[in-house]
Amino acid sequence: MKCRICQHEIAPFMSFGRMPIANGFLTPEQFKDEYFFELNPAFCDRCLTFQLEEQPAPEAMFHDHYAFFSRTSKFMITHFQEYAEWVCDHHLTGDGAGLFVVEIGSNDGIMLENFAKHGIGHLGVEPSANVAEEARKYGVNTLVRFFNPDTAADIVTEYGQADALIAANVMCHIPDLNGIAKGAELLLKPNGVLIFEDPYLGAMIEKTSYDQIYDEHVFIFSALAVANIFAPYGFELIDLLPQHTHGGSMRYVLSRKGARPVTASVTEIMATEKSAGLHLPETYQKFRKNCEISKADLVSILKREKAAGRRVVGYGATSKSTTILNYCGIGPDLIEYISDTTPIKQHKFTPGMHIPVKPYQDFSENYPDTALLFAWNHQAEIMEKEKAFSAQGGKWIVHVPEVKVLG
Ligand code: SAH
Ligand code: TYD
């Protein structure tokens, strides 16, 4: 295969096997037509980008019945309020009325709502029409399109250039990142900033959180890779801010080369990445072995629970869980159902392994013996909410950073 960024010839370092669309929750009538692809991660030793060999077409993942609504986590609502405030305080100067901020992948308006509230000129670019519709309820102007150079050019014609192009948990979804860089070049004012955050490769390698790898995540970034991806388009990294969200993320800040000062964190974090070996192919061989260990441990705990006659349910029908369930071969025989608060996922079945997804009330009204925490990235929020489950003897299985039973 060719590297998606620099066209260097590379090869996958492992396979997670046949995978369905991670957010493709389905009804029994749809089982026979379910789409599958091979989930094969690869590492490019030239531009240092971690990527998938194959990804389903964007239109198969992002459409008018997209299942992920950002507002399902209260913690993320606060996070985006803080993110927006930080952008305003550190990267937007001048009077609110003259400013223009564009967000790629604005989903239900969780971030832009905070700009809209302060009367700051903004536009969300969001191809999934159902989540975009939700954003409009919060006063967020949204364009239902994929962001690419054509979209960027149309925005400039209609609204002019932007002060900031921001994003969260979407850059890593976009196969044509060169198109994003070209779009940013067109859209941003000469002193404009490109700011995005995504699940961080350093955290994934450290915690063996291989469930970050699924169809939507065609890339998992490091600072070393991001610097290489955007350099050909005249951008440089000027700041890096590690985040706790999604089990360990990184916020990347870029501007046109020489336009803004570069903070010390850029060289510091890149040096840390080199000490962790993120630039070396052997790191990914080690990661592959760790994934195999994690899989064996998880399956063995679930089989033990089953043999002991204990009821196990999943908590949070996350996209991430699709990789775990399909890679580990875990089906309804080991997990009775998965509880989730998102209405569009409820009363459907999980992609590939077809475990029923049930409303949260099914969990709270009839506790199982054990809950497998698929939404481990929201662990603090969920543990706080589920004190009563734990207090009456409920146990948790977590699989990150290693598989274990809590409680
Ligand atoms: N930013 C939100 C949503 C992340 S999910 C958050 O962090 O919670 C990713 C979102 O990006 C989805 O809503 C998806 O429809 C959208 N998306 C995917 N590809 C895109 C593209 N090329 N341009 C703009 N948005 C895109
Ligand atoms: P999340 O981990 O944010 O994302 P991803 O799909 O990218 O892996 O998904 C959280 C899922 O967990 C979402 O479907 C809502 C669900 N959820 C609950 O059911 N209860 C909760 O208390 C929380 C925080 C999330």
Tens-digit pLDDT profile for residues 69-93: 999 889 999 999 999 999 999 999 7
The yes-or-no verdict on residue 96 having pLDDT over 70 is no
The yes-or-no verdict on residue 303 having pLDDT over 80 is yes
CA distances from 280 to 46, 136, 146, 173 (A): 10, 45, 33, 23
**Of the candidates 371, 389, 394, which has an alpha carbon nearest to the alpha carbon of residue 407?**
394
Cα 108-209-328 angle, rounded to 5 deg: 100
pLDDT value of position 61: 87
Which ligand 1 atom is nearest residue 128's CA?
15
100 CB contacts (<8 Å, ≥6 apart)? Answer: 121, 122, 123, 159, 160, 161, 162, 163
- Mean pLDDT on 42-63: 94
What integer best gives the mean pLDDT of the chain? Answer: 96
Pocket lining: 80 vs ligand 1, CB cutoff 6 Å? no
List, in order of start, the domains of the chain with CATH numbers. Answer: 60-279 (3.40.50.150), 309-406 (3.40.50.720)
- Mean pLDDT on 334-355: 97
The ligand 2 site (C-beta within 6 Å) comprises: 68, 72-73, 316-320, 340-342, 345, 360, 375, 377-378, 381-382, 385
Which ligand 2 atom is nearest residue 246's CA?
2
Ligand nearest to the CA of 183: 1
- Mean pLDDT on 140-162: 98
H-helix or E-strand containing 76? helix 74-91
Q: How far apart are CA 124 and CA 104, in angstroms?
A: 6
Q: How far apart are CA 388 and CA 230, in angstroms?
A: 48
| 332 C-alpha to ligand 2 centroid (Å) | 20
| 146 C-alpha to ligand 1 centroid (Å) | 9
pLDDT value of position 95: 64
Whether this prediction's pTM lies above 0.75 is answered by yes
Backbone CA torsion sign across 277, 280, 286, 287: positive
pLDDT value of position 93: 79
Q: How far apart are CA 162 and CA 129, in angstroms?
A: 23
285 CB contacts (<8 Å, ≥6 apart)? Answer: 13
